[in-house]
Amino acid sequence: MPTVRILAISGSLRTASLNSALLRAVAGLAPANVRIELFTGVGNLPLFNPDLEITDLPPVADFLARLLEADGVIIASPEYAHGVTGVMKNALDWMVGSEAFVNKPVALLNASPRATIAQAALKETLTVMSAQVVEAASITLPIIGSNLDQQGISGHPSLSTSIREALRAFHTEIVNLQNSKTHTLYGIKNCDTVKKARNWLDQNGIAYRFHDFRIDGLTPELLQRFADHLDWNKLLNRSSTSWRQLSADQQSDLTQEKAMQLMLTTPTLIKRPVLESGDKLMLGFKAENYQTELL
């Protein structure tokens, strides 16, 4: 199996941080085909200022470079006052306008079963940034209150087993995404046209990642990317059941902005599937078009 490079980021600056200890334990438990680097420069990042350029700030530029080089990212961050830590949010804010997390596999580790609010907020932020949060590798471990340090975590039978399983799942997902990153099929699993497209791709041995709008979601950024490459009038499926279920007011006086909001609220209004192949987007499925573009 190929070796993958992972950047591990702790959302705490405490010397005795459980999250940092957890990440060091994870690095120690990693198999030979997973190389984990613990990023220690989060505390050196200046406060986010959108007026400043990343390239003008060496600590931020270094952080971006490390993220771009990594095949995946592991984040372990505590919850402060029902929120994401300031240092973690600041680090992510710097990366919002970059490609650092776009389609980047991310695993979220949680050292406290009680810390659910910040974890959900962190996942939401990363999803908006177009990261691929890998659920099978995102685990919660009962470390808080256990008095375990890095060595204790590594030597704990159930904790170490959970970590190793999460790393295996993360490695598998990263490799799968790497193999299919040039092709992503967007749609809904039970759509007949999507099924035809998937069958054609499978029969022709073309690796791809399937993004289900109902499961994986639809962000404004992704929909805007569709609109930037495809005619929104063609993207909006006026022959769909979802369109017929709209009120007359919703169907009338359509503008791109109104249509985009309708599709964002009801993704089943989008004509399916949308195939992203490199820098091209293809709308709908016709075997002859796929044959021409993909073979």
Identify the active-site residue in 148, 191, 194, 269. 191
Quick one: pLDDT at residue 283? 97
Quick one: pLDDT at residue 179? 67
Instruction: Determine whether 191 is an active site residue.
Output: yes
293 confidence band (pLDDT: 50, 70, 90): confident
Q: Per-residue pLDDT averaged across 271-292, rounded?
A: 92
Unique residue bearing structure tokens 């979802």:
242
Quick one: pLDDT at residue 69? 93
Classified as helix, coil or strand, 134 is: coil
What pLDDT digit, counting tens, does each position of 38-58 carry? 999 999 999 999 999 898 899
Residue type, 212: D
Compute the distance between CA of residue 163 and CA of residue 38 in angstroms, rounded to an integer: 16
pLDDT above 90 (res 75)? yes
280 confidence band (pLDDT: 50, 70, 90): confident
Pairing mode of beta strands 132-133, 105-109:
parallel
**Distant-in-sequence, close-in-space partners of 35: CB < 8 Å, separation ≥ 6:** 3, 4, 5, 6
Residue type, 221: E
Q: How far is CA 58 from its chain centroid?
A: 26
What pLDDT digit, counting tens, does each position of 111-165 carry? 988 888 989 999 999 999 989 999 999 999 999 888 889 999 999 999 999 999 9
Please tell me the pTM assigned to this model: 0.64
User: How wide is the angle at C-alpha 111 spanned by C-alphas 106 and 116, nearest 5°?
Assistant: 75
Length of the chain: 295
Type and span of the H or E element at 94: helix 86-95
What pLDDT digit, counting tens, does each position of 7-35 carry? 999 999 999 899 999 999 999 999 999 99
Region class of 132: left (phi > 0), else alpha (psi between -120 and 50), else beta = beta
Q: Which of 292, 250, 293 minimizes the C-alpha distance to 269?
A: 250
What pLDDT digit, counting tens, does each position of 206-251 carry? 878 889 998 888 889 899 999 999 999 999 999 999 999 999 999 9
Q: In the Cβ-directed half-sphere of 67, how many Cα atoms lie within 13 Å? A: 26
Type and span of the H or E element at 209: strand 209-212
On the question of a cis peptide bond just before residue 273, with omega within 30 degrees of 0, the verdict is yes
